Amino acid sequence: MEQKPKVAFYTLGCKLNFSETSTISRTFEQEGFEKVGFEKFADVYVINTCSVTENADKECKRIVKSALKINPEGYVCVVGCYAQLKPEEIAKIEGVDLVLGATEKFKISQYIGNLQKKQTTEIHSCEIEDANFFTGSFSVGDRTRSFLKVQDGCDYPCTYCTIPLARGISRSDSLENVVENAKKIAQQGIKEIVLTGVNIGDYGKGEFGNKKHQHTFLDLVKELDEIEDIDRIRISSIEPNLLKNETIEFVSQSKRFVPHFHIPLQSGSDTILKAMKRRYLTALYKERVERIKESMPDAAIGVDVIVGFPGESDNDFEETYNFLNSLDISYLHVFTYSKRDNTAASLMEQQVDEKIKNERNKRLRILSIKKRLHFYEKNLNKIYPVLFEAENKDGFMYGFTPNYIKTKVDYDKNLINRVLEVKLRELDKDGNLVGEIIAINEPNHILQ
């Protein structure tokens, strides 16, 4: 019996990249490949890259080296955002055979040929204006949750961001196709769907190849809320100006959408928000947070924030710190600004010193820890349905409540991928909530 060729995948960056990697992996399996872990011997190594941060770019070289250490004759293909933005740069990395851009990555099997390593790296990268069609994707590798891509690209010209250059214009999957993919996910026995995209609040734009909105994000939410056999649907990052009050109110009464929002802020200074060309100011952001907490007092709210944007003064940073401290939020994702080629911000004067950036990053990360602990403490002794994951970590397993509280219980393989009622008893030394299972029968609702 002929042995199947093996393929391995490594994904950098966001949930959207994970959904696309999973879809690409299924095309390989349909072509007769066997999927293996990236740490295993494989005939083909596919690296799906990110270019949001400078570190993500640098990671590519390290990952290529690690693959070739396992199999020096392995065929290495690099795809994704970094591959679209800097294909020639990637082609200089020793051992890379193929570089595919934004549209080509979904046709990878057409390019890999006989899997023989090449003397010269092949590059197939489109003009980003040609990335004007939508390719649906979803992940099924995790038994408990799936990342479902509903939108791609972005029309927002934020001065620090390369995403429009890497992924093209805003465009959406059809409502019919999103629902069909969600049903396929449900058939896999997966309990939770996470909606992903570059700018998912812009859903509906470009749904049928034109710029008009055939449907809105709220239309999408309402349709998905009716799908049977999915316990939970989680909204990933959504812009504050696109998170409408009607959506917040619907989620507060939803059968499946959980009380968890991740809303990018980027700065708590209106001066810096204007320099970033964001499409909102702090007053609107505050209003969104307050509206969520009015209708869902136990909701988790995560925040993205960037420190060290060009021209960010000590006063601007203090405004950001104090603004975040004043909000009833649950945690922060803190990013340090780094120059990205072909962005307006990279040409701005008053670039902030690296030492100052690092100090500001540290202060906000400490604030994030305080916010998370405060949020967890407010939820002590409450009862929530917890979806348990498979990992056995030192005799314990973990799961998440609808409002994104990481909960710890003694490991029991029979609990994997089950949603059980748990009382949140105490905080452990690592800041996780220790839970006590109080009901074995799965709930058929989400506690708000």
- Counting Cα atoms < 13 Å in the Cβ hemisphere of 131 gives 28
The full set of domains in the chain, from first to last, is 6-126 (3.40.50.12160), 132-258 (3.30.750.210), 262-375 (3.30.750.200), 383-439 (2.40.50.140)
Q: Residue 406's beta-bridge partner residues?
A: 400
**CA-based Rg of the chain, rounded to a whole angstrom?**
22
The pLDDT assigned to 207 comes to: 79
Q: What is the mean pLDDT of residues 44-60?
A: 79
Q: For residues 296 and 288, give the distance between their C-alpha atoms in angstroms, rounded to a whole number.
A: 12
Is pLDDT of 128 > 80?
no
Give CA–CA dist 402/385, Å, rounded: 7
What pLDDT score does 266 carry?
A: 98
At residue 1, does pLDDT exceed 60?
no
* Alpha-helical regions (H) of 113-215: 163-167, 175-187
Q: State the CB neighbour count (10 A cutoff) for residue 441.
A: 7
Higher pLDDT, 286 or 124: 286
pLDDT band at 445 (very low <50, low <70, confident <90, very high): very low
**Cα→Cα distances 10→36, 124, 157, 344, 378, Å:** 11, 20, 29, 31, 38
Q: What is the mean pLDDT of the chain?
A: 91
Q: What is the DSSP string of 261-272?
A: EEEEEE-S-HHH
Supply 340's token pair.
């990205």
What confidence tens digit (pLDDT) does each residue in 132-188 have? 777 788 888 767 899 999 999 999 999 999 888 888 899 999 999 999 999 999 999
How crowded is residue 413: how many other Cβ atoms within 10 Å of its Cβ? 9
User: Residue 411, SS3?
Assistant: coil
The DSSP secondary-structure symbol of 205 reads B
**What does pTM read for this prediction?**
0.90
Q: What phi and psi values does residue 286 have, to the nearest 5 degrees? A: -60, -40
What span, in angstroms and rounded, lies between the C-alpha atoms of 211 and 208?
A: 8
